[in-house]
Structure formats: C-alpha cells, structure tokens
Amino acid sequence: MTIAKTAASGGTGLHPEVLAFTSSLALDRALLQEDLVGSLAHLTMLSRTRLIPSEDARALREQLVAIWKAAKAGTLVLADEEDVHMAVEAELTRVLGERAGLLHTARSRNDQVALDLRLHVREKVADALDVLATLLEGLAARAEAERTTLLPSYTHRQRAQPITLAYQLCGYGAMFSRDVDALGFVLQGVAALPLGVGAIGGTSLPIDREVTRELLRFSRVTMNGLDTVGDRDFALDFAYAAMRSLLHASRVATDFFDFSSPEFGFVKLDGEIACGSSMMPQKRNPDVFELIRGKAGRAVGNLTNLAVLVKGLPGGYNRDLQEDRQVLLETGPLLTSVLSMLHLALGKVHFDRERCLAAVESDYMQATDVAEALAMKGIPFRTAYKATGALVRACQEKGLPLAQVTLELAQSVDPRFDAEVLKSADPRLAVERKANAGGTGPASVEKQLVELKSHAARARELARAVPRLASLFDALQEAAL
C-alpha cells in the first residue's frame, strides 16, 4: 500500500519502507491537540477572509472537534501516514471527501509544524512554571522551619563556614528562581505566530495573519517566512532552560546523596523514598536522588542533539528538522517529572539537628569570623588571617575545637586576641554576625525568603498567563466563522 504526500501531489505514493523510515507519526501523534487547535484557528481565519465557504468551514470544524473528542475518549484511530498533520487530513478526507482539502488552503506543513511545536513548548513551559512554583514554595516553607538549624557549608567538599539550614535551602531556591527567569525568556521566544508564511515565501492568497494571531493569543507574528520555517531557536532555548534547571536539581540531589551517607549522617531518608538492596538487608539507598542526577544527563544530551541537528543547515525548512521531535517531546515531561520528584523527596528527608550541630562545634569553621573580629580592631586582615591560622593549628595540636578555645591559649599565640574576639568562635554567633545582604545571618535569610516567595508567585503568574490548549480549543469551537 502506498500513501502519503506523493499521492496527494499526483505521484504514486511512497514505498512502504520509505514511508516507515520517514514517518514521524509514532512520535508526533503527541502533538495532536496542538495540531487540532492550530487547524481550528486557521480554519476560522480562512472562513472570515472568505477564502473558503462558511458552510464548508462549519463541516470541517465539526470534524476537527470530533477528532479531538475521540482522542480524549481513547477511540481515535489515525491512518498510517507520514505525520500527525497528514493523519488528521486523512481522517477528515475519510468523512468529508474532497472538501477536507480546503483546510490546507494557504498552509504548508512547514509553517504548520512550526506552529504545533511553539504551542507545545508554550504549554510545557506553563506546566514547568507551575512545578517550579511548588518547589520554591516548598523550599521557602522548609527554610522558615529551619532558621536555627546549624550545619557546615562546603567549598571543595571540605567544611568551610557554619550556616543555617534555612540559608542552604535558600541557596537552592536561588538556583530555581533563575530557572523561572529562563522559562520566562522561552515564553518570549515562542510568542511569535509562525502560521501564515507557508512553505517559505508566504502565499498569494489574501489571508489575515492577525486574525490567527489573536485567536491563538500570540503577541506578534514572525517577521520572515524563510527564517520562520527553519527556526528552532525556541526549541534550543527550551532545551537549554530545561537542562539548566535539571543541572540545578542534580546539584541538590548530590548534596542529599552525601548528607544521607553514614560518613555525613546529616539526614535520614523517610521509608517512602529510601530504596533497599536486593541482597543487603541493611541498606537504605538514596535512589531517588541518584536518578535525578542520571535524568539530568538526558537533558544535556537533548540540548546537544538539537544543537548538532541545526548546525550547518541551510536557510529554510529541511527534513532534518523532523529529528527535533523526540528531543523536544521528551523535554517537558522530563523537566516536570524531575522537579516534582525533587519536591516530593525534599519533603521526606529529616535532618539530624544534633549531628549537624556537632559537626559545626567540633571543627574550625569559625576561623574566618575570628580573623574578621580581629580585623574589626584595626588589625590588617592578612595579619589577622595569619594569627587565626596559628590559633587553629594550636587548637588542632591539642585536639581542641575552635569553639572551646581558651583565652590563655589564644593569647599565647597572639596577645591581640581577647575575650570579645573569641566570642566570634561560637558558631551560633558566627552565623548571626553575617548581617550583609546574601549572607547567612537571620535578617539576610528573611530577605531571601521574601525573594523566593516572590519568584514562586511570579512563576504562578507566568503560568496562568499562558493560553492553554484546552481553553483555546473551547473558544475556537465556538468562534464566529
């Protein structure tokens, strides 16, 4: 059996093996809703500009709506065509005959798929923004409950300075806040309507792209058809934003992977997220966090795949671009599933506050604070740094944590140490003294919490502003023709 576009243009149809090789239907049937919404808007424009009779437009709309409902009910069977666009046209032709061809007036699959993909990205960005808002809200709520929990911070994976857990969680939130901004940028990129440029150079038919733009709630139309049909910048932007967000998730996951190990012992994993071993009955493995890291690698691969795909392509549409489908269709679900799981998992970890505090009190992480206290007395910081370094070495030789240093020992190292300076060796005071913006001090953390909540609210707002496919479908099936 030979079918597909060669038959439509007067040829004999594609060889079955060529059809199987070139078909994207198995993947892009996931774009059915986007294709139907785009077709309804195009149909409405064709009817309003009198390019097709309103009676035919009503019949076509009725069948497009029927396809949508059948798909929702799980009863739709699409013909084995090259792609979802031809499959929809084949279904319309089965019911309406020759009249089905009216829908393709002034439209190419080049601008049709460009529209479908933009609608898809817009929808998935809205989903991701909602998940990011939930994650940020969860981080802020947990941080509020952990204002006084102390634990070490790390540079080079060596203990650095004492911080609060609230500050650590705000640090995670800062990363995901930038992801909200990145996805907002993606929305700006997909805000241009591609439909109406045809295959590459537009159409001689008197269409009105502004009608379609308003129906689909895009903010502008694309500038140049040659660029439009070959443009996948919006897909690269989305893949990059998703990759970056999943890299952030991976970094958070690595912290909790470490924190849950006996070597750290800072957190205990709830039984609902801890996985066992098939052989070792004592194991409580952080599989969730490991898989978050692993899945982040797929996002890196997706971006690389897209970048290599478009590298070196000439202007206009090229069939190579069909290979964007698998990458792009995976990106949205991958992003939302990982971020959702991270939110769930973070709610199922329990910090051992005593173990965390002991790690701080038994170490020398307040050394910088002691040096800065000396500097506040007018001593050059490098001089204070060297004196404090000598004090740390003296404490280490005696097996004495810095928090327990005596005035006698300190002054034997350098007489400029006094009781007031040594107060800064208390890890709680060391945290409280960091009052500067961005620091771990209580006032700074409060401001950071406000910022997190603001970004969560902005994510919700951006998501709500996105015209969703279901609402567009509802409006288009009732739109005036």
**Mean pLDDT, the chain, whole residue set:** 94
pLDDT tens profile 313-358: 999 999 999 999 999 999 999 999 999 999 999 999 999 999 999 9
Phi–psi pair at 193, nearest 5 degrees: -75, 125
Residue owning tokens 């050394």: 367
**Residue 6, pLDDT score:** 47
pLDDT tens profile 263-307: 999 999 998 988 777 777 777 888 999 999 999 999 999 999 999
What does the alpha-carbon distance between residue 317 and residue 225 come to, in Å, rounded to a whole number? 10
Which whole-number Å values give the CA distances from 302 to 299, 308, 373, in the listed order? 5, 10, 50
Q: Give the pLDDT mean for 184-188.
A: 98
The answer to whether residues 375 and 384 touch, using CB atoms and an 8 Å cutoff, is yes
**Residue 285, pLDDT score:** 84
Phi–psi pair at 428, nearest 5 degrees: -65, -45
User: CA 203, 209, 212: angle at the middle one, nearest 5?
Assistant: 125
250 residue type, one letter: S
Domain 367-425 CATH superfamily: Fumarase/aspartase (C-terminal domain) (1.10.40.30)
> Could you give the residue numbers annotated as active site?
156, 277
What does the alpha-carbon distance between residue 231 and residue 117 come to, in Å, rounded to a whole number? 11
**Strand (E) or helix (H) holding 447:** helix 442-465
Domain 110-352+449-468 CATH superfamily: Fumarase/aspartase (Central domain) (1.20.200.10)
Q: Which residues pair with 150 in a beta bridge?
A: 164
Q: Is the pLDDT of residue 7 over 80?
A: no
Domain ranges (residues) in the chain = 5-105, 110-352+449-468, 367-425
Q: What is the DSSP string of 121-158?
A: HHHHHHHHHHHHHHHHHHHHHHHHHTTT-EEEEEETTE
Beta strands per DSSP E along 198-263: 220-221
**Residue 215, pLDDT score:** 98
The answer to whether residues 455 and 136 touch, using CB atoms and an 8 Å cutoff, is yes
pLDDT tens profile 30-43: 999 999 999 999 99
User: CA 256, 327, 26: angle at the middle one, nearest 5?
Assistant: 125
- Three-state SS for 151-208 is EEEEECCEEEEEEEHHHHHHHHHHHHHHHHHHHHHHHHHCCEECCCCCCCCCCCCCCC
Residue 25's nearest CA partner among 72, 75, 101, 91 is 91
Q: Which residues pair with 128 in a beta bridge?
A: none
What does the alpha-carbon distance between residue 155 and residue 365 come to, in Å, rounded to a whole number? 11
Rg (CA), the chain: 30
Looking at the domain 5-105, which fold is it? Fumarase C; Chain B, domain 1 (1.10.275)
pLDDT tens profile 144-166: 999 999 999 999 999 999 999 99
Tokens, residue 476 = 């288009």
What does the alpha-carbon distance between residue 96 and residue 110 come to, in Å, rounded to a whole number? 24
Q: Which residues pair with 154 in a beta bridge?
A: 159
Phi–psi pair at 216, nearest 5 degrees: -95, 0
The answer to whether residues 336 and 128 touch, using CB atoms and an 8 Å cutoff, is yes
Q: The whole model's pTM is what?
A: 0.93
**Residue 8, pLDDT score:** 53
Label residue 474 exposed, middle or buried (CB < 10 Å: 0-12, 13-18, 19+): exposed
What single-letter DSSP state applies at residue 349? E
